[in-house]
Amino acid sequence: MKLEKCELRSPGKGEVVVKVVFAAINPIDWKVRSGHLKMVTGKNFPRAMGSDFSGTVMSVGPGVTRFKTGDAVFGMAHIRDGGALGEAVIAPEAFLARKPGVVSFEDAACLATPGVTAWNGLIDKAKLAAGKHVFVNGCAGAVGDAAVQLAQMCGATVSGSCSDASIPRARERGVHPLFDYRTTDLSRLAGRFDVVYDTAGTMKVKIGLGLLGAGGVFLDIDPTPGKFLRAIFERRLKPIICSARADILDGLARAAGAGRLRLPISEIVQLGDAIEVVTALEGGRKSNGKVLIRMD
């Protein structure tokens, strides 16, 4: 990784140029860097890094109708292009939402990938409704935390697992009962759930399916070709790929504006320190919240 100066191209049809205020670090950043997502991103390097951001619109491309210069926005770059870890980024119009005035640029930068992934699973795939019981594995991580809050907005009851250190924060979210994933054999849980969402990517499919009640679905955040093939025959298994849409981003904006969706921030560093912090997180350093990069 290195910082480089470059000329930003002009926005194409349906694209928006955003002056980045904050960018959020996500595991997808080093998954792209390591080549794990080359089937989606392509194999060519060098390439820009970074997905989630908040900022202000600098210009718009042909056909853009939802945004104008000066709008405060948040969202995500297309995975093929990246670029959020920079002073400006080009993103598809459908991958952006207006930032509510009551939501800070810091908080807005945290929302896109966790919120969209939670929405893709709970609403798009599970069709979650009020009165259902959801189990979130990894409920204190960014996607897990977003899934907890989104499930509660839908009127569902939420149980979950996380590390022992994160249990107090998850308890404050209203998750009950809670289990320490390091010491609990989740396959032995007595409860049966309408939805099991493995937001940590650590639960075996057999265990996830075994926790389901009649008509339940297992949402798997770690999709592989084998899981997609298995899902053809095992309809309860739903591999999840983060897929942004305008209606999802707008829904996240409304939830954040109403005070119903917020993710904790553990650290904010300047762009010049981004390589060091990404390297540390890539190497396994834990953070008790989102890590942000400040561009100014």
Q: Note the pLDDT tens digit of each residue in 197-251.
A: 999 999 999 999 999 999 999 999 998 889 999 999 999 999 999 999 999 999 9
Closest CA to 134 of 237, 211, 234, 204: 211
Contacts for 204 with CB less than 8 Å, ≥ 6 apart: none
For residue 211, how many other CB atoms are within 10 A of its CB? 21
Model pLDDT for residues 244-268, shown as the tens digit of each residue: 999 999 999 999 999 999 999 999 9
The CA-CA-CA angle for residues 53, 57, 63, to 5°, reads: 110
Distance CA 92, CA 192 (A): 40
Model pLDDT for residues 132-147, shown as the tens digit of each residue: 999 999 999 999 999 9
Please state the φ and ψ torsions of residue 68, each to the nearest 5 degrees.
Answer: -140, 165
Dig out the tokens for 231 from the structure.
């899902």
Measured CA distances, 172 to 48, 83, 136, 189, 223 (Å):
37, 35, 15, 22, 30
Report the CATH architecture of 15-110+263-294. Alpha-Beta Complex (3.90)
**pLDDT at 41 (0 to 100):** 79
pTM, to two decimals: 0.95
Mean pLDDT of the chain: 94
Model pLDDT for residues 50-92, shown as the tens digit of each residue: 999 999 999 999 999 999 999 999 999 998 899 999 999 999 9
Distance CA 1, CA 278 (A): 9
Element (H, E) at 159: strand 157-162
Distance CA 64, CA 61 (A): 6
Report the CATH architecture of 114-239. 3-Layer(aba) Sandwich (3.40)
- Categorize the per-residue pLDDT at 44 as very low, low, confident or very high, splitting at 50, 70 and 90: confident
Relative to beta strand 290-294, strand 52-60 is: unpaired
- Categorize the per-residue pLDDT at 288 as very low, low, confident or very high, splitting at 50, 70 and 90: confident
Distance CA 222, CA 89 (A): 27
Residue type, 164: D
Query: In the chain, where are the structural domains located?
Result: 15-110+263-294, 114-239
Model pLDDT for residues 81-123, shown as the tens digit of each residue: 999 999 999 999 999 999 999 999 999 999 999 999 999 999 9
